[in-house]
Structure 1
């Protein structure tokens, strides 16, 4: 599965737009609070924990989005966007979305 933040894929033609696909991941309240409290007390260590948790959340959301696109028969997802949101000052949500597309069989001639 090709995924990209751009609206096109170099040397490939989009045959069909299948629709919007999205994935979400929510970091549980206690983990988010621990990270925020840790940042205040030990910035370096908390920063590494924070990055790791955020990476896990991002990858989980992307995996969910890809699974949805595969069910639609997509070859790629274009125009992907990412968003983080704090919910009720306790939970952290990571969301990603893009457009599932079917690619033409042959590459574009240059």
Structure 2
């Protein structure tokens, strides 16, 4: 599956637009991550525990979007965008969406 943030694929023609596809993942913090992040909040530095959590959350959301596109018979997903939000205290949602297409 070809994934692109652009609305087209260089050297390929979009012959059919299949529709919107999306995926999301909601992750919550845990006590171990919170303790390490709390220390970094005091002394400064990158909060690797949260960064890793968000990377994994993006991967899960992207895989779900790809699966939805495969079910439509897509070759590619174009116009991909990511959004992150806080669902409630201590949780984060990653949403990814794009347009499933067939290529020539």
Cα distance in structure 1, aligned partners of 2:54 and 2:39: 15
Instruction: Give the C-alpha shift of residue 36 in structure 1.
Output: 5.5
Alignment of 1:1-110 (within 5 A): 1-30=1-30, 34=34, 37-41=38-42, 43-44=44-45, 47-104=47-104
Please list every run of 5 or more consecutive structure 2 residues that lacks an aligned counterpart in the other structure. none
Instruction: Give the C-alpha shift of residue 21 in structure 1.
Output: 0.3
Cα distance in structure 2, aligned partners of 1:92 and 1:73: 31
TM-score between the two structures when normalised by the length of structure 2: 0.87
- Alpha-carbon distance change, 42 to 93 in structure 1, aligned in 2, over 3 angstroms: farther
- Alpha-carbon distance change, 6 to 52 in structure 1, aligned in 2, over 3 angstroms: same
Cα distance in structure 1, aligned partners of 2:56 and 2:101: 26
Aligned residues: 102
TM-score between the two structures when normalised by the length of structure 1: 0.83
Cα distance in structure 1, aligned partners of 2:5 and 2:39: 32
Structure 1 stretches of at least 4 aligned residues deviating more than 3 Å after TM superposition: 35-39, 41-44
Task: For residue 47 of structure 2, give the secondary structure of its aligned residue in structure 1.
Answer: helix
Task: For residue 66 of structure 1, give the secondary structure of its aligned residue in structure 2.
Answer: helix
